[in-house]
Structure 1
């Protein structure tokens, strides 16, 4: 398939890097260019698993599931079958975009006061490391939905690379060891977690090969039985037992609360195929996720606000000042209105309205807004304005660890896939005998009783995951996404501004410091961005910085003229990522 691109052109693509051979034996590289299928993940084993599927004739959906399964082995503290996610898929032959919501869901026992005791919220660190925080996992159902509807390979075929990696092992890198060390106290609280991730009671040794035979067996069950093998029978019963009776160690000193999840909660879980959020920006059409992901709507609203400025013609400081303020306003609206659409009326049309964006843009001045701002009223821009304004509330904490992968194939199909177990290490509990961590996704609910994102039975908590595909003239030009909790949204938004408006290459956009404003008095910044000329220029406009080691961990694919594709991953953040592209296709 020929992929057209006009305005993006070469600026999106090469950045000085030539073609990469498929599955090269060397270490992971963050940028690769070719003319066939492409893969970008955070891990070389996962990228190779996806490329193996592409090389065997599988499509992008097949390859995405293969990569995701491998990441569940090698990046188990960010993602895995104990969590959930969102997948945006472009089907080239049908020329349409579909999305699969396999976000975790609250058990049927949940009520709005589940995270309160004696009228007060349970402390966040105690909510995280508990059975209460674990939602019904959605990942395996999402994989099966994607493969059944849009794939060309069986579950057994796409899980094969991950089963081999889990069985025979992979090499411990610095990121893996650091994440175990960060969670050491929590992991020691549970016998099953200590046994898997702290062998002989010690941190994993850098450079040593380790394996996960329990996960290999669990994957083999799924390969043979499909999602049924996960959501019913021994695996489902083990998940419920772990939630309801956490496997605490005899010497545990943490206050680990029990949850209340039943095998029926797992058996009744369903993935949702939803229409995408569709918005336009300077001649591009942008596809993202609907709620309960807040990413698609928040990015669309911010871009609508920014469309009123000539960002390409402004100075770098002026352009970034507008980006930061647009993000602040969009986050105010995100915090007030976005939640599971099956439980609340999300004013989607109002939030996507260009007129609403014009109203919000009028609040942006030439300097920093000194503090948070209230939400606007998008209901006035709905066809039916009678829906009452929902009260705003402080947004709940959202863990910063997740993973994103981006895959395309030679036929032009594209997958942008973000999935997670929420915080680094999820809720800290490995399901005994099955080799995977459970999520703490239900901490993404807001504890304010009147908020649309309040906990309820069967509800999916609001997410910031933002898998995104950008089109021009009906053809994909860019697919991307990132981990990072609520900073996912600003990471994707800044990258879109950098590439679409500022004409940066993917390599330059990935290497740049990130600025993350989420409606607060301070703006997050990483990689020392506060000390750059841009950071100093913004500080002169009144911005106060909240330095952080890392914001986001992008993967992306750019599509150029003549069928050229460029896969891009982080060069530095998280130890760098892995990009592979087929050549000679």
Structure 2
């Protein structure tokens, strides 16, 4: 049996509010669907089906989001899983309240600012990735527990059941999955448990093969029976620590037992009549997106030619990244000037630096301190280089019939994380510690118990007090630009959400060139922007794999996933009667 469950009919529309009930064939997969019940958008059909199953069983959006996330840990294990961490934004409709749940990985107690140095020199980045030294204390399971315990309506056992089914019975891997294994053959071959699961005779398993992961099913069953303690103490914890340390790490059982998730106040900002709620620090996403939008708000973008508006989008992103790199880090270790960075007056000052006709080469960090009521003596930053950051994460979004919403990004960092599978439990461990700066002085240097700065940007947007849309994406630091550009496309350029999400992505992160996707260079859009002096990366790569929900004026909801990227996403809504 191949677990790609696609037999249930669901509603789809052609970007309108007219609901059509379609009895789709078993092989159908759609990146856009509209209906009047709960909805989900993920990059994986089995994961979206898992969410719908839980919603149909009476679960709420929180229950369904965790079911989808657990299933993604099976079908997209190189992006996410219980060996990593994540950031979740939740809207509780009855309370009209937005909560953010930070379950980002933390540095083991053994960490110091020089952990990634030898004789005063930075260690090789790729060597650190494929080692236990890169593994942070995972936060995913603790985050799921907190979400379920506080806001869910189901047990671990119930929400993990769909993922256990997929892991046990298997699923057919596609070309994208096989390609990702091929890209990581060298890394995976270093670790016997990983090679046994994903390689055959040292080579990537081929597309079309049915992959089963009974060890991961076992791990999920233990979580279902023993709850959060089954992960952070006992046999699973011992196996995790032993394997990490076997490959150069220095983690203890106490590190796992001491891990805590954090409930934090969301980053709230406004843009052209919308109200945005994003992730606070240690995510830099909420602050950076808000600052860039504040800068853009001073322009009448709708009246401009597209090329001029997109030039301004790129320059606003460049300025926001200059500040992001200089100031933002774990708020429990660094007093970042968030209020100043979010100030509309500060944005106006930054806007003055933009030449509407000419691209900048490199932007310096600004001084946000005068724009907040800060009575302390603030530290002024040094210019910081743009550190390497894994681009391989996943984002999902779910709503339920009662109006609850989850926007959730979670990750193990690089494709395949550290490459280390925990023997007997079938999940990959993260390499999240490489999100720290390897040397300082910088706000984001490694320290014991610290959470590395993240770019994950799960976002929920409101209009007139009611949910308007959600947006989020994987992609390392390009997450911020994908979320920012999708909002810009949708709000300022007037694109429908499917068009906004599928448009060519341009990621300007204050570098010498802007990252673009294959096929963009040489296009009319590219040539128009080049007249302002914009420059493109020489090695185009696919950017992000976003998912969104749109809450339509007629009360329906449209789920939107990728139409082309990452093998096409999966958008589903509940059938009538649920």
TM-score by length of 1: 0.94
Uncovered stretches (5+) of structure 2, i.e. residues with no partner: 1-12
2:393 matched to which residue of 1? 402
User: CA offset at residue 199 of structure 1?
Assistant: 3.6
User: CA offset at residue 47 of structure 1?
Assistant: 0.3
1:520 and 2:511 equivalent? Answer: yes
1:29 matched to which residue of 2? 30
Alpha carbons 1:20, 1:33 under 8 Å: kept: no
SS at match of 2:15: coil
Task: List per-residue Cα deviations over 1:514-560 (Å, max 9, x = no partner).
Answer: 11100012111114223332211001111111152201110000000
Uncovered stretches (5+) of structure 1, i.e. residues with no partner: 1-11, 247-257
1:442 matched to which residue of 2? 433
1:411 matched to which residue of 2? 402
* In 1, Cα distance between equivalents of 2:527 and 2:575: 43
* In 1, Cα distance between equivalents of 2:357 and 2:239: 55
Tell me whether 444-453 or 402-411 shows the greater mean CA deviation. 444-453
* In 2, Cα distance between equivalents of 1:176 and 1:515: 25
1:275 and 2:262 equivalent? Answer: no
* In 1, Cα distance between equivalents of 2:334 and 2:495: 39
1:552-567 alignment, distance < 5 Å = 552-567=544-559
1:106-185 alignment, distance < 5 Å = 106-185=107-186
2:461 matched to which residue of 1? 470
User: CA offset at residue 244 of structure 1?
Assistant: 0.6
Alpha carbons 2:17, 2:552 under 8 Å: kept: no
1:576 matched to which residue of 2? 568
* In 2, Cα distance between equivalents of 1:64 and 1:20: 24
Alpha carbons 1:515, 1:524 under 8 Å: kept: yes
1:550 matched to which residue of 2? 542
Q: Which structure carries more relative contact order (alpha carbon 8 Å, separation 6+)?
A: 1
User: CA offset at residue 312 of structure 1?
Assistant: 1.1
Alpha carbons 2:194, 2:421 under 8 Å: kept: yes
User: CA offset at residue 200 of structure 1?
Assistant: 4.6
SS at match of 1:523: coil
* In 1, Cα distance between equivalents of 2:17 and 2:151: 35
1:52-91 alignment, distance < 5 Å = 52-91=53-92
Tell me whether 197-206 or 555-564 shows the greater mean CA deviation. 197-206
1:124-523 alignment, distance < 5 Å = 124-246=125-247, 258-384=248-374, 386-523=377-514
Change (3 A) 1:388 1:482: same
* In 2, Cα distance between equivalents of 1:420 and 1:127: 18
Alpha carbons 2:61, 2:399 under 8 Å: kept: yes
User: CA offset at residue 510 of structure 1?
Assistant: 2.1
SS at match of 1:530: coil
Change (3 A) 1:463 1:558: same
Task: List per-residue Cα deviations over 1:335-354 (Å, max 9, x = no partner).
Answer: 00000000000111001000
Tell me whether 237-246 or 527-536 shows the greater mean CA deviation. 527-536
* In 1, Cα distance between equivalents of 2:393 and 2:189: 22
* In 1, Cα distance between equivalents of 2:298 and 2:384: 29
User: CA offset at residue 582 of structure 1?
Assistant: 1.8
Alpha carbons 1:287, 1:469 under 8 Å: kept: yes
Alpha carbons 1:13, 1:506 under 8 Å: kept: no
User: CA offset at residue 27 of structure 1?
Assistant: 3.1
Task: List per-residue Cα deviations over 1:98-147 (Å, max 9, x = no partner).
Answer: 01000000000000000000110001111111111000000000000000
User: CA offset at residue 202 of structure 1?
Assistant: 3.7
User: CA offset at residue 20 of structure 1?
Assistant: 5.9
Change (3 A) 1:24 1:267: farther
Alpha carbons 1:13, 1:558 under 8 Å: kept: no
Change (3 A) 1:48 1:20: farther
2:4 matched to which residue of 1? none
Change (3 A) 1:13 1:477: farther
Task: List per-residue Cα deviations over 1:135-174 (Å, max 9, x = no partner).
Answer: 0000000000000000011110000000111111011111
User: CA offset at residue 201 of structure 1?
Assistant: 3.7
Query: What is the CA RMSD across the aligned residues, in angstroms?
Result: 1.5
* In 2, Cα distance between equivalents of 1:327 and 1:125: 28
Change (3 A) 1:449 1:44: same
SS at match of 1:515: coil
